[in-house]
Structure 1
Amino acid sequence: MKHTPSCTLLIATYNWPAALEQTLLSIKRQVMLPSEVIIADDGSKEETTKLIAAYQTGFPVPLRHIWQPDEGFKLGQIRNKVIAAATGEYIIQIDGDLILHPSFVKDHVHAARPNHFIGGSRVLLSEALSQEIFKSKQAGISLFHKGVRNKFNALHAPAVARFIELFKKEKGLYNLRGCNMSFWRKDLLAVNGYNEQITGWGREDTELVIRLYNKGIQRVFFKLQGIVYHLYHKEYDRTSVLKNDEVVQEAIENKLTWCEKGVAQYL
């Protein structure tokens, strides 16, 4: 019988408690719960802390909140702090602006393979549908809702996905979404987690995956499962991307498997 690993669900958030609440509600509806949920908070204000405290009472699994002061966009750093604190063998990573399909955690855990990581996709929701969800706190979304974009990503057929996986191996950096990924914790520790040299929006996940590839960790084919619905928001400032691309290029050219400033400093 296949071992079912203990699992930490890592949620990154910053100053959007209304969206985070939708994420937490969708976790409560999971058919398979994680062992624990840890919120990686990159400097949110008191309103987010109060929301989390309200949900900690009666939440079906331990709900922890790790916060750092707001010193600009330092997503890699707060994720490293959560990775260090996590008790799960397996870490599923999402953002706090997602609504999870009820089988989301189950899909990730069942698709986990030794020496592999998972990079999933997302379903984009329109601004109008997102606002409707905030008002109604509706329980479910499907590909038939008006305002659900890229509907193929909303198809849920894990048995079909497992069949396709027999013939198709996922490679490269195509369609990497840091909002929907999962890893064995030991593999993250082996490459020292996220590179904190990357600050500002963009490329922290790409650079991490390059080091995982260089370490021999492969990617699982993960379509038709692990569905997340992304609540609409305006795009982030992307002026940091060019600077962060230089760090990515260094990892590629030098075949790096380790970053100097990573998760080890919090262990």
Structure 2
Amino acid sequence: MSNFPTCSLITPTYNWPEALELILLSTINQTVLPNEVIIADDGSREDTKQLIEAFQKKIPIPLIHIWHEDLKNRKPKIMNKAIAASKYDYIIEIDGDIIMNKNFIEDHLNFAKKGQYLFGSRVNIQKKLLTKLFSEKIISFNLFSKGIKKRGRTIRITFLMNFAKSVEKRSRKLRGCNMSFWKEDFIKINGFNEDLVGWGIDDSEMIQRLHNIGVKGKRLKFAGIAYHIYHKEQSKIHIEINNEIEKQTTEKKLTFIENGINQYL
């Protein structure tokens, strides 16, 4: 266990303390704790701040709250600020609507390897379960749990990861809600692109630049299990602009963007 890299768990949040509470409860429940947790807060109200302060008293690791003003969706910027503030070598990133299986951090650290990033999938928690989920603060699920979809993804058989191959091209299965990478690689490509606006593409565009510098990907299957809490789809009003930026990154094999993490380092 001791040869695991040191790591920072980072999650963005925006005005959804009910979901954030389940993230933090599932963090405390981990078989291997991260060295710190950083909440990248895109401008939430006071109730989120109060929740984080309450957890700072009961979580046995540093819990850091990085906040900026609410000027609509600026996730790449707040994620860059959070990662710039992180103290450890390896970054595990989950979305603000993810409940982690108790072995989640352990699995990411177990399969972390230089020159590689990891990405996992997610089990979907259905809308009909939400009232019960939040009132009973459910953080454990299994193959037979009610109110979930893609239940095959609840199965953990880490031994099978020994046969997983790394990929040189960005996978269509990539989801930013469940991934991990080396901080030094992230800094090399200047982090998330803050020219991306609104929802979507920020994770996959960043990962494309990692591939462009020769970092490979590996998909976590039967490991790194995460549960995605149902929510309404976000506005995709800027998706065309973001898709175009990603297309340029891919076609021109761009490795560095101007508007990135270096502003905060």
TM-score for the superposition, normalised by structure 1: 0.96
Displacement of 1:173 = 2.7
Displacement of 1:251 = 0.6
Contact 2:115 2:214 in 1 (8 A): yes
Runs ≥4 residues deviating over 4 A: none
Which of 197, 200, 207 aligns to 2:198? It is: 200
Secondary structure at the aligned position of 2:148 is classed as: coil
AA at the equivalent of 2:130: S
AA at the equivalent of 1:157: I
Structure 2 counterparts to residues 177-188 of structure 1, below 5 A: 177-188=175-186
Which ranges in structure 1 are unaligned for 5 or more consecutive residues?
none
Q: Deviations over 1:203-236 (max 9, x none)?
A: 0111101100000000023111111111111111
Give RMSD over aligned pairs.
1.3
- Who is 2:220 aligned against? 222
Q: Partners in 2 of 1:3 and 1:245 — Cα distance?
A: 39
- Who is 1:140 aligned against? 140
Contact 2:39 2:64 in 1 (8 A): yes
Contact 2:42 2:70 in 1 (8 A): yes
| Worse overlay, 212-221 or 135-144 | 135-144
Q: Would you say 1:247 and 2:245 are equivalent positions? A: yes
Q: Partners in 1 of 2:255 and 2:3 — Cα distance?
A: 28
Contact 1:17 1:48 in 2 (8 A): yes
Which of 215, 228, 231 aligns to 2:229? It is: 231
Structure 2 counterparts to residues 81-230 of structure 1, below 5 A: 81-162=81-162, 164-165=163-164, 168-170=165-167, 171-230=169-228
Contact 2:22 2:139 in 1 (8 A): no
Contact 1:18 1:134 in 2 (8 A): yes
Secondary structure at the aligned position of 2:99 is classed as: strand
AA at the equivalent of 1:120: G
Q: Partners in 2 of 1:2 and 1:48 — Cα distance?
A: 34
Q: Partners in 2 of 1:17 and 1:93 — Cα distance?
A: 18
- Who is 1:48 aligned against? 48
TM-score for the superposition, normalised by structure 2: 0.97
Percent identity, please: 43
- Who is 2:38 aligned against? 38
Q: How many residues align?
A: 264
Q: Partners in 2 of 1:102 and 1:117 — Cα distance?
A: 21
Contact 1:42 1:73 in 2 (8 A): yes
Secondary structure at the aligned position of 2:12 is classed as: strand
- Who is 1:79 aligned against? 79
- Who is 2:254 aligned against? 256
Contact 1:173 1:206 in 2 (8 A): no
Contact 2:22 2:138 in 1 (8 A): no
Q: Deviations over 1:17-40 (max 9, x none)?
A: 001001100001000000000000
- Who is 1:59 aligned against? 59
| Worse overlay, 184-193 or 143-152 | 143-152
Contact 1:200 1:240 in 2 (8 A): yes
